[in-house]
Chains A and B, each alone.
Chain A
């Protein structure tokens, strides 16, 4: 099934209706900050009800920007797999609704996951998200494994090599060099030990690949 997801807040009727009119979909899911009972959503629910469908609503915590990006990424990833049938859904997201921060977080989540995205406000603009351009597509399996090892911690070279087994020490060291060149990881020396960690960009790549694996 094709699911149309849209960021939303009360008063966004015209944007959501434009997306519903212009984009093909089977099911509508709105992402908002907790305004699921206002007149706008009631109107949309009534219209969807005429086609025998309910409107899904996912509430996101209005926290820090990147936490919102993670929450939206989780919701999109969860929507891809239909738990009842086991089949995969096709997702498109409209980012024009909701607060400014919610829309921007949704835009970033769409790029992170490579999800088809639109900005529907008076006109429908398809965003330039190319298939095959996500973090998941850009890194090898070994590079992703190394990033997983380094998530949220600084690790010694020896521990990294051990965690990368059954891959050889040479493979692990080559992968470290590759990611260092891409500024994904950083290293420093302390007490004669080489310590390796993810750079801020590397941490985002690790998060992005984690979410993208669910797609």
Chain B
């Protein structure tokens, strides 16, 4: 049994073909939302959502509609979708496919990014023919790009984001020699995952800062 994920805007026809083309669908999880200041958009998304829920009810498919609080908040949507994908995987579910055709532009792009990072098969639906177009995504195997020590450093830096941590302080926090930490810091800077900023109180010192994009890279539960 498989779980299908998707994004939904005004058109159920952008999502339902994926339910038809996927074998043994157990559940549909879809993300939708509209600009709350646009009553017409709110109404049209609500109608599309109802149609998809009705379709699933008739077909005996469980459905989990996710109302996005802000369908234009790219970062929150990526984090939400990644967390949901990981949760389903942890529960042993098979994620068959993610349809990214519907929804706002940020919602669709956020879903695509989550699929790249999680290695989920992804499809688009053609605007006119409603034909499914599989996207040959390359999974970004960050476990191969980042070593275990580098991931640990990133986690510690994220957990201490509000603190000004120097290399010496970081070495103390993770209980490693300063030279070892220095080596990993250089590698992480070269990969674009962290940067060194001037210490706010002592310009001779450098503070290790994690790049904002690392949140998206690692996801919420890492």
Residues of A at the B interface (CB closer than 8 Å) are 64-66, 95-96, 99-101, 103-104, 107-108, 111-112, 116, 119, 121-123, 125-133, 135, 138, 200-201, 203-205, 208
Given A111-B138, A200-B134, verify A104-B191 contact (CB < 8 Å).
no
Once the chains bind, are B136 and A201 in contact (CB under 8 Å)?
yes
Once the chains bind, are B72 and A111 in contact (CB under 8 Å)?
no
CA–CA, A138 and B139, complex, Å: 11
Given A119-B74, A126-B212, verify A200-B136 contact (CB < 8 Å).
yes
CA–CA, A121 and B171, complex, Å: 37
A-B residue pairs in contact (CB < 8 Å), sample of 9: A95-B109, A100-B109, A104-B100, A104-B108, A107-B112, A125-B75, A125-B212, A130-B145, A133-B141
B169 at the interface (CB under 8 A from A): no
Once the chains bind, are A135 and B124 in contact (CB under 8 Å)?
no
Once the chains bind, are A100 and B108 in contact (CB under 8 Å)?
yes
A-facing residues in B195-220 (Cβ within 8 Å)? 211-214, 216-217
User: In the complex, given contacts A135-B138, A200-B134, what are 14 additional A-B residue pairs having Cβ atoms less than 8 angstroms apart?
Assistant: A96-B109, A103-B109, A104-B124, A107-B109, A123-B75, A126-B211, A127-B213, A128-B214, A129-B192, A129-B213, A130-B146, A132-B190, A138-B141, A204-B138
Once the chains bind, are A65 and B106 in contact (CB under 8 Å)?
no
Once the chains bind, are B116 and A65 in contact (CB under 8 Å)?
no
CA–CA, A135 and B80, complex, Å: 27
Interface centre among A121, A133, A208 (most CB of B within 10 A): A133
Once the chains bind, are A133 and B140 in contact (CB under 8 Å)?
yes
B144 at the interface (CB under 8 A from A): yes
Once the chains bind, are A204 and B137 in contact (CB under 8 Å)?
yes
Given A128-B216, A130-B192, A204-B136, verify A121-B145 contact (CB < 8 Å).
no
Once the chains bind, are B140 and A119 in contact (CB under 8 Å)?
no
Q: How far is the CB of A145 from chain B (nearest CB, A)?
A: 19
Given A101-B124, A200-B134, A203-B136, verify A130-B217 contact (CB < 8 Å).
yes
B142 at the interface (CB under 8 A from A): yes
Interface centre among A64, A100, A123, A133 (most CB of B within 10 A): A100
Given A121-B72, A122-B72, A131-B190, verify A65-B109 contact (CB < 8 Å).
no
What residues on B are CB-neighbors of A103 within 8 Å?
105, 108-109
CA–CA, A204 and B137, complex, Å: 7
What residues on B are CB-neighbors of A111 within 8 Å?
116, 138, 140
Once the chains bind, are A66 and B72 in contact (CB under 8 Å)?
no
- What size tier do the contact residues of chain B reach? 35 or more
Interface centre among A95, A125, A201, A208 (most CB of B within 10 A): A125
Once the chains bind, are A121 and B106 in contact (CB under 8 Å)?
yes
What residues on B are CB-neighbors of A129 within 8 Å?
192, 213
Q: Tell which of B100, B105, B191 touches A131, judged by Cβ atoms closer than 8 Å.
A: B191
CA–CA, A101 and B126, complex, Å: 10
**Nearest chain A residue, comparing its CB with the CB of B105:** A100
Once the chains bind, are A208 and B138 in contact (CB under 8 Å)?
yes
**Nearest chain B residue, comparing its CB with the CB of A95:** B109
- In the A-B complex, the 6 residue pairs with the closest CB atoms: A128-B217, A204-B136, A126-B213, A128-B213, A128-B216, A133-B145
CA–CA, A130 and B150, complex, Å: 13
Q: How far is the CB of A95 from chain B (nearest CB, A)?
A: 6
What residues on A are CB-neighbors of B156 within 8 Å?
none
Q: Tell which of B109, B134, B144 touches A104, judged by Cβ atoms closer than 8 Å.
A: B109
Q: Tell which of B138, B193, B217 touches A112, judged by Cβ atoms closer than 8 Å.
A: B138
What residues on A are CB-neighbors of B217 within 8 Å?
128, 130
What residues on B are CB-neighbors of A116 within 8 Å?
192
Q: How far is the CB of A69 from chain B (nearest CB, A)?
A: 9
What residues on B are CB-neighbors of A96 within 8 Å?
74, 105-106, 109
